[in-house]
Amino acid sequence: MIAITGGGTGGHLVIARAIKEELNRRGIKPIYIGSTAGQDRIWFEHDEGFEKTYFLHSQGVVNKKGIRKLLTLFSILRSSFTCKTIFEKHHIDSVFSVGGYSAAPASFGAFLSGIPLYIHEQNAIQGKLNSLLRPFCRAFFSSYDKEAVMTSYPVSEAFFQIKRERKELKTIIFLGGSQGASFINALAQKMAPLLHQEGISIIHQTGKKEFEALKAFYDKEHILADVFDFSKEIPDKLALADFAISRSGASTLWELCAAGVPALFIPLPHAAANHQYFNAKALADQHLALILSQSSEFEPSALLEQIKQLDLLSVSQRLVQMIQTGGAKEIVDSILQPQSKEKPC
């Protein structure tokens, strides 16, 4: 039996879901251990693909000081022993971690129980928990780190199915994630009149907090746009887009690659270790993406001109070569193979 752990944000959870779905295809129902904080419960509490789900009161240690840090560390240790009991109950023989603070109790619990730990690092810069546990894991998976077990990023087949060559800039999609991104929403408001004048259609994921305000903005400006707060049908939205303006969380970045959608990435400036910037840089260094810093001064018209000068056809053709299908299968194959053949971290 396998336990999947980790989460907090959609970027972590989408990997957990991909591995769960691959295990389900093989007739295996894993358990899931996450946190009561973050998005873990929203994603998986009622997911029938898991035999059982557990949500512990875990928190991140980063940015905590003094007594608060000590109390958080004690809580993680206590929850690790809870996980040890859970592992015994479900006869767990492997733990797969996607990182994030949600992963700490079960990851340390695996160490306490002598159970092999497998880790997937989504980003170009390792998270602190993953860096700490890497020397002790059975295998460390990454799409960036050549010293790890290199795999294609586990992206849903739905994104590969919509890939196509982008030849003309007919539709732009603004992606702020399920929680939205105020900076991207503000940028969309500045660019929308220009895009409308040029006959470029707009798709805009606003997040729930600013949805009503953005909907009112487009109505007031008499701009017909596909505006939504959250959707489980993102592949359908991307299928219509020729270009994306987006955060550069790893899952979103690789989904855009799979679909062949060129992008301007605006990294979240407060992301841990600035990992969103380095995610985007990996593509920008190969002239496959544009990057805009939130602190940059820019004119919307100049930004639009920069986008229009991109060779969309060439970029979209090269993006789909950056990722292959079967990333989740590669990882599950490695977890399920006999331990004597495993590649150590």
In tens, the pLDDT along 254-278 reads: 999 999 999 999 999 888 788 899 9
Axis crossing angle, helix 300-308 with helix 182-197, rounded to the nearest 10? 70
Angstrom distance (rounded) from CA 15 to CA 155:
8
Angle at 154 between CA 149 and CA 156, to 5 degrees: 165
The pTM of the full predicted model, rounded to 2 decimals, is 0.84
Q: Give, in order, the Cα–Cα distances in Å from 186 to each of 237, 291, 295.
A: 20, 17, 13
Please give the pLDDT value at position 148.
87
Are the C-beta atoms of 259 and 163 separated by less than 8 Å? yes
The CATH number covering residue 288 comes to 3.40.50.2000
Listed in sequence order, the residues at least 6 apart from 96 whose beta carbon sits closer than 8 Å to its beta carbon are 2, 3, 4, 5, 19, 30, 118, 119, 120, 331, 335
Domain that holds residue 312: 158-322
pLDDT band at 170; cut points 50, 70, 90: very high
Residues 184 and 136 in one domain: no
pLDDT band at 92; cut points 50, 70, 90: very high
Q: Which residues pair with 265 in a beta bridge?
A: 246, 291
Are the C-beta atoms of 133 and 127 separated by less than 8 Å? no
Q: Which two tokens stand for residue 185?
A: 């929403």
In the chain, the number of structural domains is: 2
**N-term to C-term CA, the chain:** 22
Residues 274 and 216 in one domain: yes
Residues 242 and 334 in one domain: no
> CA dihedral defined by 185, 187, 193, 199, rounded to 10 degrees?
-90
Residues 283 and 166 in one domain: yes
